[in-house]
Chain A
Amino acid sequence: QKEVEQNSGPLSVPEGAIASLNCTYSDRVSQSFFWYRQYSGKSPELIMSIYSNGDKEDGRFTAQLNKASQYVSLLIRDSQPSDSATYLCAVRAGNNRKLIWGLGTSLAVNP
């Protein structure tokens, strides 16, 4: 069974701090990795995708991928209360068009 695991949280950080969210996956042939943000009662919103080892930055967000260790992380710099949400990690394996989803990590940014 291919799995994607995330710590459910809640992860609580003070405003202005760096929030670090982690995700591990079991399928070694996984190719693409995605981070989504989901506010309560809303649909998931794509933050960023990554498919090469290393870091990818977009504004305050940095995704880090380590295929050898089978983990992907999301760093949120200068966290704001508006970043309080559930963050979903998703993984695509090989040529499969489906995604395998984690259950999400709840993040609370405290003013």
Chain B
Amino acid sequence: DVKVTQSSRYLVKRTGEKVFLECVQDMDHENMFWYRQDPGLGLRLIYFSYDVKMKEKGDIPEGYSVSREKKERFSLILESASTNQTSMYLCASSGWTGGAYEQYFGPGTRLTVT
């Protein structure tokens, strides 16, 4: 079974703090993704990575950066947290299954910025 883990289930940070969210997958997947999910807005892609040290912006990259130094690990960084970044953050990984690139999600991190 694919296993995607995230460093925290719940996190509370103050405005202006630097926040690190970490994601680890154990399936040797080449692709990893960071999403945020808000009521009524669905899943929105922040960044994704298709290889070590490679990254591409998603739909809402502003205020975020990412790091992928090892294949299994993908980090999301909020340089200076703001209240509008309060959200559920979801990490996913995908690899070729012979018919499709299936994405598997971690449990999510609910971040509250006060």
Q: How many A-B residue pairs have CB under 8 A?
A: 49
Within 8 A of B (CB), among A32-47: 32, 34, 42-46
Q: How many residues of A contact B (CB 8 A)?
A: 20
Q: Is A108 an interface residue (CB 8 A)?
A: no
- Shortest beta-carbon distance from A56 to chain B in Å: 10
- In whole Å, how far is B56's beta carbon from the nearest beta carbon of chain A? 8
Other-chain contact of B58, A32, A44, A49, A98 (Cβ < 8 Å): A98
| Shortest beta-carbon distance from B106 to chain A in Å | 6
- Starting from the known contacts A31-B100, A42-B108, A103-B42, 4 additional A-B residue pairs (CB-CB under 8 Å) come to A43-B105, A90-B103, A98-B33, A103-B40
Please name 21 pairs of A and B residues whose Cβ atoms are closer than 8 Å in the assembled complex, sorted by A: A32-B101, A34-B102, A42-B107, A43-B106, A43-B108, A44-B43, A44-B105, A45-B105, A46-B102, A46-B103, A49-B99, A49-B102, A51-B99, A88-B43, A90-B103, A97-B48, A97-B101, A98-B33, A98-B45, A98-B48, A103-B41
Which chain A residues have a beta carbon within 8 Å of chain B's beta carbons? 31-32, 34, 42-46, 49, 51, 88, 90, 92, 97-99, 101-104
